[in-house]
């Protein structure tokens, strides 16, 4: 068993390593990360997927992810963007008829931050606590998985489902009601979370051992989002952005709590 002195030495060496590594990362990755992030934001803005404020928030999140993981860290973020863009525009005419369609101007800064800020915080922490990089990036990817699952489940459900049920009591409710779930939407959300987890591992952002945890944390956050929508949001106690942020933080926390336990179990 490792003694307390050894643990202290490892922690101190980790801090020293971080102090040495961070300036190196800033020089090696800052310019490419900034260029890619700005280009991504410009494309998203021109496509009408985000507002100007939303694009700026996207730049910051993409930049932080790439500072930690290199350009590979950009791929899971693009995956979330594409999944949500396709899902949002799927069956748009029907959504307009139901009165639940996303506005054409794109997602605002508050919406983008609510879905992605927790990922940026986890990834940013990895710059300074490099010894916990795997756990923190797993949490960041869980946030992206939850964001994709939540949006895809809502948008695909509204576009394709015939019936919706309130998650807290499973009574029929109009499609688009806060906290409403459907078979089609739930299945689509689960697939989206699994896709983000697979992409994160495929491009080396996290290990393959973390994929199941990322997907499950994202799916769990998706269900929490529905529960909060059916209760506190419908009661006027929370707004949609707050619900989204809490759900992504829950997914990150779940990954952070379970990740170390699974590592000990595997070893």
Q: What pLDDT was estimated at residue 128?
A: 86
Query: Residue 151: inside a domain, yes or no?
Result: yes
Contact yes or no for 199/65 (Cβ under 8 A): no
Specify if 1 maps to a domain.
no
pLDDT of residue 24: 55
The pLDDT, as a whole number, for residue 106 is 79
- Give the per-residue pLDDT at 102: 72
pLDDT in tens, the chain (267 residues): 444 444 444 444 444 444 445 555 556 678 888 899 999 899 988 888 889 999 999 999 999 999 999 899 999 999 999 999 999 888 878 887 877 777 667 789 999 999 999 999 999 999 888 889 999 999 999 999 999 999 999 999 999 988 999 999 899 999 888 999 999 999 999 999 999 999 999 999 999 999 999 999 999 999 999 999 999 999 999 999 999 999 999 999 999 999 888 777 766
Would residue 87 count as lying in a domain?
yes
Residue with tokens 């509204």: 158
Q: Does residue 135 fall inside a structural domain?
A: yes
- The pLDDT assigned to 93 comes to 81
Query: Taken in order 154, 160, 166, 167, is the CA torsion positive or negative?
Result: negative
Q: Is residue 228 part of a domain?
A: yes
Decide if 110 is inside a domain: yes
CB within 8 Å of 200: residues ≥ 6 apart: 76, 141, 144, 206, 210, 211, 214
Strand partners, 165: 172, 181
Q: Is residue 59 part of a domain?
A: yes
* Whole-Å CA distances, 21 to 12, 28, 65, 83: 14, 10, 16, 34
Domain that residue 243 falls in: 25-96+106-266
φ, ψ of residue 107 in degrees (nearest 5):
-80, 135
How many folded domains does the chain comprise?
Answer: 1
The verdict on residue 212 lying in a domain is: yes
């Amino acid at each position: 068993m490792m003694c307390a002195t050894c643990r202290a030495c490892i922690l101190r060496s980790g801090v020293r390593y971080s102090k040495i590594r961070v300036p190196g990362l800033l020089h090696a990755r800052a310019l490419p990360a900034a260029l890619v992030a700005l280009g991504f934001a410009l494309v998203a803005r021109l496509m009408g997927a985000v507002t100007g404020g939303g694009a700026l928030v996207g730049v910051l999140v993409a930049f932080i992810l790439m500072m930690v993981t290199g350009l590979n860290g950009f791929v899971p973020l693009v995956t979330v963007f594409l999944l949500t863009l396709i899902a949002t525009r799927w069956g748009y005419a029907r959504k307009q008829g139901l009165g639940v369609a996303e506005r054409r101007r794109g997602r605002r800064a508050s919406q983008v931050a609510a879905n992605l800020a927790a990922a940026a915080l986890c990834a940013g922490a990895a710059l300074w606590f490099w010894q916990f990089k795997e756990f923190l990036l797993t949490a960041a990817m869980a946030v992206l998985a939850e964001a994709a699952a939540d949006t895809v489940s809502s948008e695909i459900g509204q576009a394709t489902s015939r019936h919706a049920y309130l998650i807290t009591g499973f009574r029929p409710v109009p499609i688009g009601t806060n906290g409403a779930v459907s078979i089609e939407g739930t299945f689509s959300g689960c697939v989206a979370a699994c896709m983000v987890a697979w992409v994160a591992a495929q491009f080396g952002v996290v290990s393959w051992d973390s994929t199941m945890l990322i997907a499950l944390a994202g799916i769990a956050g998706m269900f929490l989002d529905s529960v909060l929508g059916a209760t506190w949001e419908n009661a006027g106690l929370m707004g949609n952005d707050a619900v989204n942020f809490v759900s992504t933080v829950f997914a990150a926390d779940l990954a952070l709590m379970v990740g170390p336990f699974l590592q000990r179990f595997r070893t």
